[in-house]
Amino acid sequence: MAFPEPLETKGRLHDLPTPGSESPFRERRPYRFSTLCATVENPHMKDQYGSSSVPIYQTATFKGVGNEYDYTRSGNPTRTHLQHHIAKISSAAHAFTVSSGMAALDVILRLLKPGDEIIAGDDLYGGTNRLLTYIRTHLAVTVHHVDTTDPSSLDKYISPTKTAMVLLESPTNPLLKIADLATISQNVKERAPNAIIVVDNTMMTSYLQRPLEHGADIVYDSATKYLSGHHDLMAGVVTCNRDDIAQKLAFTINSIGNALTPIDSFLLLRGIKTLALRMDRQQSTTQLVAEYLWNLGFKVNYPGLPNHPGRDVHVRIADGSGAVLSFETGNKELSERIVAATRLWGISVSFGCVNSLISMPCVMSHASIDAATRAARGLPEDLIRLCVGIEDSNDLLDDLEHALLEAGAIELNAAQNRFVRAPHPDALTQAVQDLDLDDGRNKQEWFVSAPGKVILFGEHAVVHGVTAIAASVDLRCYGLTTPRTDGKLSVHFTDIGDFYHEWNVDDLPWDALTPIPPGEVHPDELDQRLIEALSLTVLARLGGEKEQAKNASLAFLYLYMTLSRGSYRPTFNFTARATLPVGAGLGSSASFSACAASAILLLQRRINLPPKPSSTPSHLHVSHNGRRAIPPAVAEEVNRWAFVAEKILHGNPSGVDNCVAVFGGALSYTRSGFGRKGGMDAIHGFKSLKFLLTNSKVPRDTKKLVAGVAQMKENEPGLVNSILKAIQSITDEARRALADPEMSRDALLTALQDLIKENHDYLVMLEVSHPSLEIIRMKTYESGGLRTKLTGAGGGGCTVTLIPDDFKEESLDSVMDELIREGFHPYLTSVGGSGLGILSPYPEHRARGSDPHPPRQNVGQATPPDTPSEIPEGRAKGTAFDSLRPTFEMASTEDISAWATSLGRWLYV
């Protein structure tokens, strides 16, 4: 038996077996698709026995030298038959069959070389995504994911020199989004003529869509799906018209040895014969199922529905809507119940089989895409995918209805005598909430604030697992977000060189982002890729003397991007202003971090405030001045993200500062992971203690000081560990004393004085003191035996001095005068006040409205400028009208606190 050379090396092969014209009056038309499918004919490969079906050449080798076939890895007659048949039904010059759909993509991706760039869709099969991630991380190929429903979204990534491949899917899996293959191919070819356009056509097959006709260079299918149709084999198919590409593909397949086996080639060939028949049946039932779900009110993704956004494009490039649809129920648990309740619909990954299948992509076929990316690409966790088979459509609909009913997704409406969608409590609440937020959240200003802190015992040691005792001070950082409508995000940091900067949101390095979906926590490690991308791009021009502002901007942008949700990117200005000194050891960075985190979480709709209280209270209203109005879960979420920002600002923070900034009060805090029980405990009883805080005004850098102690620990572990142990016993003592109701006031104060001295001595040993701090210690001790220690990171910054109850006011005045004379700045503070605060967004709570409970303090006492001053040119662009921003930015620091209070009701943790 003589075979021609293997088909993959030949030119155009689909010499259609349409017989020639029999009569000049009645031309024979070319055979149609289903006829081609059923007719496996290859005029070059006549079987010697006239076998009706293609024989399986189950052999690895072929005898002889110089013959058509020698080794099945390189060529096998059964496979040649199959490839001929596929080329024919695909109207392609070349067809290759390999061991799976992913193997097909692998062969195609091997056309790339390091440095190349791919533009790919953002709603791709999970396995495709996984392979792309692999080549991105291992082969230095850049992958840009874009929303391919908008052809112009590719524009900014198309480079004539770098774009080597464009990878498309239409409809996408599982959201059934439509890409205009023809327009995209044309755009890409115009601007990057060498780019290869690749289309995954699995969902459609060549029966319903032939991308080679729309400009694609390579089309591949997972033949495990519709082409074979029975889920009894795995195979991948690659077709193309270009000889140069075909040659490279053939070389790769032969080299790596993943060509399809003879038996699978046979099975696939047999499956293809019924492709059109199966597809027709599956597609018509899918239309019925889609309409059924749509009529019930579910959000259904199927291009056969009239409201599908890509329907017009799809109708232009394809011949049918296919047999896969997906729909949302509004609730993940509800979806899980529906899936579990079906009987006829098999719970399985994959699709294209004669049997109907049901799945939840997020937990099955797309689980290999991490949750963060799924969320960023808008893949709903509750999405159900239906892959419709050839069973009787009535049975399929009955079974689905039964499952929806059993799961509680639909209920009988007796009046209408039909099933209607059941209002799911969670779905409803969510929908109402979303509506609420859509209406106002991003069009309004958010005003937040958080206190600084004073560490009384245990700073530095707390980084290494020792317990610290800290309390909030009545000096705060304030953060105000003001919406912008010009696509820009800006920051204004009035305390650090009056720094202002703005960025186009689209210019941020979104490619480097791994977003974290709501409800998930940030990993322990910062995302260095994102930090690097931000530093090298939008922050590259800042630096030098602007180091502080650069760090604060980095922390802000890092949170903004990491907390983003898909393409939802609110634009606004964030102004931060503090009444506490920045970089003085009073936790300005943590209060800043808490403000930035809470503002972004609010705008990204990740935290919600409690609903406004009903206007007609049914019981006695006890005023708590806003305390405990912010639920603990919200506070914890803000705290987690404030800690992330602190990591950016501090390197290796303990977490105590952000805990105080968010939770306020006084607490003992132990970092987890050091063999002791981590966490924080509130300490009561601080209110009555008086402290003097003194700012040495010597600037220092917390990050460096913390790193210095870590270095010392590494160099002299014995010494440092014994110091840490000693500090632990100091904080244990302090905590016990503070919590002991039996202890006399005198005894408590004396004990605390001793502990302050001792703790400071150890901090000196850790080399974090500074001559200016020693001067303050000496001065306060000399004038009345007061005990003082450094607080926070040291190296300059602030000290804290305990003022006993019986310390005379005149003596205190003279101590303060003395300190001022020395050039220091003393503050007499109260500690243990409220943590994070959010100005109530409800109009009823704003002082300008008819507030039944006007704020008690300082209304009218604040002295912000009567006429808001102008925001400098450029900064006001896109700023909302009637904003708090001008007053906030121009008021004097002393007035900020009273002014903020006068605005209305603040909700506190």
Ligand X SMILES: Nc1ncnc2c1ncn2[C@@H]1O[C@H](COP(=O)(O)OP(=O)(O)O)[C@@H](O)[C@H]1O
Positions touching ligand PMV (CB under 6 A) are: 455, 459-460, 462-463, 585-587, 589, 650, 653-654, 656-657, 702, 706, 792-793, 797
CB of 724 to ligand X, least distance (A): 21
Query: Which of 198, 341, 649, 909 lies at the binding interface for ligand X (CB under 6 A)?
Result: 649
With respect to ligand X, which residue has the nearer C-beta, 586 or 884? 586
CB of 256 to ligand X, least distance (A): 52
Residues of span 591-630 touching ligand X by CB under 6 A: 592
Query: Which of 477, 534, 638, 662 lies at the binding interface for ligand X (CB under 6 A)?
Result: 477
Size of the site for ligand X (CB under 6 A): 24
Residues whose CB falls within 8 Å of the CB of residue 314, separated by 6 or more in sequence, listed in order? 170, 171, 178, 303, 308, 321
Catalytic position from the list 69, 125, 207, 478: 125
With respect to ligand PMV, which residue has the nearer C-beta, 243 or 701? 701
Could you give the CA distance from residue 581 to residue 706 in angstroms, rounded to a whole number?
19
Residue 146: what are its φ and ψ, rounded to 5°? -130, 165
Half-sphere exposure of 684 (CA within 13 A, CB side): 2
With respect to ligand X, which residue has the nearer C-beta, 501 or 650? 650
Q: What share of the chain is helix, strand, coil (3-state, %, to 5)?
A: 40, 15, 45
Using an 8 Å Cβ cutoff, are 293 and 136 in contact?
Answer: no
Residues whose CB falls within 8 Å of the CB of residue 229, separated by 6 or more in sequence, listed in order? 271, 274, 275, 278, 352, 353, 354
- Indicate which of ligand X, ligand PMV, none lies near residue 551 (CB less than 5 to 8 Å, by partner kind): ligand X
Q: Is 73 a catalytic site residue? A: yes
Could you give the CA distance from residue 711 to residue 732 in angstroms, rounded to a whole number?
26
What is the number of the residue whose Cβ is closest to ligand PMV?
A: 792
Query: Which of 588, 654, 694, 728 lies at the binding interface for ligand X (CB under 6 A)?
Result: 588
Q: Is 478 a catalytic site residue? A: no
With respect to ligand PMV, which residue has the nearer C-beta, 575 or 589? 589
CB of 693 to ligand X, least distance (A): 12
Distances (CA, A) of 718 to 671, 725, 769: 21, 11, 21
CB of 681 to ligand X, least distance (A): 23
Compose the 652-691 pattern: x for residues touching ligand X by CB under 6 A, - for all others.
----------------------------------------
CB of 453 to ligand X, least distance (A): 8
Catalytic position from the list 79, 177, 210, 225: 225
The closest alpha carbon to 575, from 899, 859, 869, 883, belongs to 883
- Indicate which of ligand PMV, ligand X, none lies near residue 548 (CB less than 5 to 8 Å, by partner kind): ligand X
Using an 8 Å Cβ cutoff, are 103 and 15 in contact?
Answer: no
The closest alpha carbon to 789, from 727, 720, 708, belongs to 727
Determine if 296 is a binding residue for ligand X (CB under 6 A): no
- Indicate which of ligand PMV, ligand X, none lies near residue 122 (CB less than 5 to 8 Å, by partner kind): none
Determine if 575 is a binding residue for ligand X (CB under 6 A): no
Reported in sequence order, the residue ranges of 535-612 that DSSP labels E, i.e. its strands, are 572-578
With respect to ligand X, which residue has the nearer C-beta, 552 or 838? 552
Compose the 496-535 pattern: x for residues touching ligand X by CB under 6 A, - for all others.
x---------------------------------------
With respect to ligand X, which residue has the nearer C-beta, 446 or 807? 446
Say what angle helices 588-603 and 547-562 make with each other, to 10 degrees. 30
With respect to ligand PMV, which residue has the nearer C-beta, 6 or 587? 587
For tokens 């400071």, the residue is 760
CB of 590 to ligand PMV, least distance (A): 7
Query: Which of 551, 829, 897, 901 lies at the binding interface for ligand X (CB under 6 A)?
Result: 551
- Indicate which of ligand X, ligand PMV, none lies near residue 871 (CB less than 5 to 8 Å, by partner kind): none
Using an 8 Å Cβ cutoff, are 638 and 659 in contact?
Answer: no
Residues whose CB falls within 8 Å of the CB of residue 236, separated by 6 or more in sequence, listed in order? 97, 98, 99, 100, 101, 102, 103, 104, 105, 220, 221, 222, 223, 224, 260
The closest alpha carbon to 235, from 220, 216, 217, 248, belongs to 220
Q: Is 200 a catalytic site residue? A: yes
Paired tokens of 617? 């209270």
Residue 263: what are its φ and ψ, rounded to 5°? -70, -40
Stretch binding ligand X (CB under 6 A), from 114-122, 318-326, 576-584, 880-888: 576-584
Compose the 694-733 pattern: x for residues touching ligand X by CB under 6 A, - for all others.
-------xx-------------------------------
Paired tokens of 51? 């076998």
What 895-899 contacts at long range (C-beta under 8 Å, 24+ apart), as own/partner pairs, is 895/862, 895/863, 895/864, 896/478, 896/577, 896/579, 897/476, 897/579, 898/857, 898/858, 898/861, 898/862, 899/862, 899/863, 899/864
With respect to ligand X, which residue has the nearer C-beta, 303 or 583? 583
Element (H, E) at 522: none
Query: Which of 578, 630, 734, 763 lies at the binding interface for ligand X (CB under 6 A)?
Result: 578
Could you give the CA distance from residue 231 to residue 351 in angstroms, rounded to a whole number?
8
- Indicate which of ligand X, ligand PMV, none lies near residue 656 (CB less than 5 to 8 Å, by partner kind): ligand PMV
- Indicate which of ligand X, ligand PMV, none lies near residue 76 (CB less than 5 to 8 Å, by partner kind): none
Determine if 903 is a binding residue for ligand X (CB under 6 A): no
* DSSP annotation of 195: P
Q: Is 359 helix (H, G, I), strand (E, B) or coil?
A: strand
With respect to ligand PMV, which residue has the nearer C-beta, 14 or 460? 460
Determine if 773 is a binding residue for ligand X (CB under 6 A): no
Determine if 576 is a binding residue for ligand X (CB under 6 A): yes
Determine if 582 is a binding residue for ligand X (CB under 6 A): yes
What is the amino acid identity at position 179?
A
Using an 8 Å Cβ cutoff, are 723 and 760 in contact?
Answer: no
User: Annotated catalytic sites, by residue?
Assistant: 73, 125, 200, 225
List contacts with ligand X (CB under 6 A): 477, 493, 495-496, 548, 551-552, 576, 578, 582-589, 592, 649-650, 701-702, 792-793
